[in-house]
Amino acid sequence: MKTKITLLLAILFIGLNFGFAQQDEECMTKLSIFHEYTKAKNYDAAYEPWMAVRSKCPKFNNAIYVDGEKILEHKIDNATGADKVAFINDLLKLWEERGEHFASKTPKGEYAAQACQLMYDHREELGKVNNELFEQFDAAYKLDKDTFTNPKSLYTYFSLMVDLYDAGKKPAADLFNKYDDIVEKVEDEVKNYSEKLNKIIEKEDAGTTLTKKEGKYKSYYESYLKAYDQISGSIDQKLGDRANCENLIPLYQKDFEENKNNALWLQRAAGKMSEKDCTDDPLFFKLVNAYHELSPSANSAYYLGILKDKEGKSSEAISFYKQAISLETDNFKKSKLNNRIGLKLKARGSYGQARGFFREALKLNPSNGRPYLSIAGMYAASANNCGESNFDKRAVYWLAAAEARKAARVDPTQKKNAAKSVANYNAKAPQKSEIFSSGRAGQTIKISCWIGASVTVPSI
């Protein structure tokens, strides 16, 4: 009897395995068919075999979900009415299925953000309203902030908050807190891609040829930095005058007592007042001192430097600015501080000091071209004061153009601005006919004053 039972179980096991093998073979065949159709962008032909594999073997291969996304996006783009809504909902369902069967390949925040963006993009067909969409974006952001990184979705998330504020459905405090959340998140992503790009730039600067893979990564990092730069401007534009001094000051005055021991609140309030140039109000003084007393940091020292600048105490301001830099341990943030201080010094005409801070910013974050453009601008502004002859003075523009070119080389977000600057400076420098008549082609001109550099006259 025992032998018969063992034999029966063995036959059953072989039969089950044969069934699975048949199923796997069928799924493999149909997967190969729909994958080839997808590669050829024949999405309509891919749909039927893809659906068969999706239904029968949902765990078989991640290509079901990678190709399925393309197939359904094609269907959405080419459908109308109820059919379109059905395909939209099916794509949402597909992402859920991917998370269930291939969790390690489906970052929660990334795919939740994709789902929210899809619903937002088709809000009219789906009958979605702003409040509902915002809550979905908010839940996705809180679910997995680390992988909620899509630039477009971050902007949409904030844009919905602004629309709800304008409709009287969100208070000003929520609007400004969400602005800070999103701006800090964007800055984190810019830091992430900048640090990766910096390694490649350092390799190029050392004269090492990039591998094909490194070249691809460079383009990838640059494309994301461009996207984040674009949405940063869009976020500020969307916020607009809603965060002006008339709105900020009464709000922070009202909430100060409740938050005077909250370092994050104090930092954000002082930061927002600094950004919006509300630093003349006594509230800024109160915020900065409370923040520095509670949590001495690079930011609080920087804001104290601003206060000293306002009082006309330049040397004390510089002392606080340097203290801010010494307190900052993160190179990316330290670079930003150096650049900010450089801009303040540039604005008051302290070009030599400003250049020192700009150069330090570049050492800490080589892929940020803005300090190069600032140095170029200071050179150009000094052209009439640096040089004995008219020719020598105008030669300063070649120095300015050289700095602007460096910005274009390292920073994908500044290529257009840098190209315009280079063209502008070259137009102001001595032209070919002037170089010819001067007989100075190939000569080195020493630029005096604060610049203290040399420039070679182009050969003609």
Burial class from Cβ neighbours inside 10 Å (0-12, 13-18, 19+) for residue 176 reads buried
Q: For the stretch 285-300, what's the b/e string if a residue is b when 16 or more beta carbons lie within 10 angstroms of its beta carbon?
A: bbbbbbbbeeeebbbb
Q: For the stretch 8-44, what's the b/e string if a residue is b when 16 or more beta carbons lie within 10 angstroms of its beta carbon?
A: eeeeeeeeeeeeeeeeeeebeebbebbbebbeeeebe
Report pLDDT for 13: 35
pLDDT in tens, 338-382: 999 999 999 999 999 999 999 999 999 999 999 999 999 999 999
Give the confidence band of 11 by pLDDT, cuts at 50, 70, 90: very low
pLDDT in tens, 38-66: 999 999 999 999 999 999 999 999 999 99
Report pLDDT for 23: 58
Give yes or no for residue 95 having a pLDDT over 90. yes
Q: What is the DSSP letter of 384?
A: G
Q: What is the DSSP letter of 60?
A: S
Give yes or no for residue 3 having a pLDDT over 70. no
- Look up the pTM and report it: 0.86
Report pLDDT for 448: 87
Report pLDDT for 15: 38
As beta bridge partners, residue 446 has: 454
Could you give the 3-state DSSP secondary structure of residue 262? coil
pLDDT in tens, 206-265: 999 999 999 999 999 999 999 999 999 999 999 998 999 999 999 999 999 999 999 999
Contact 259, 266 (CB under 8 A): yes
Determine the average pLDDT of the residues in 281-294: 95
Which residue, chain included where needed, has tokens 């330290």? 334
pLDDT in tens, 411-431: 999 999 999 999 999 999 999
User: CA quadruple 91, 97, 102, 108: dihedral positive or negative?
Assistant: positive
Determine the average pLDDT of the residues in 97-104: 97
CA atoms within 13 A on the CB side of 265: 15
Determine the average pLDDT of the residues in 146-156: 97
Give yes or no for residue 6 having a pLDDT over 90. no
Contact 457, 441 (CB under 8 A): yes
Contact 153, 117 (CB under 8 A): yes
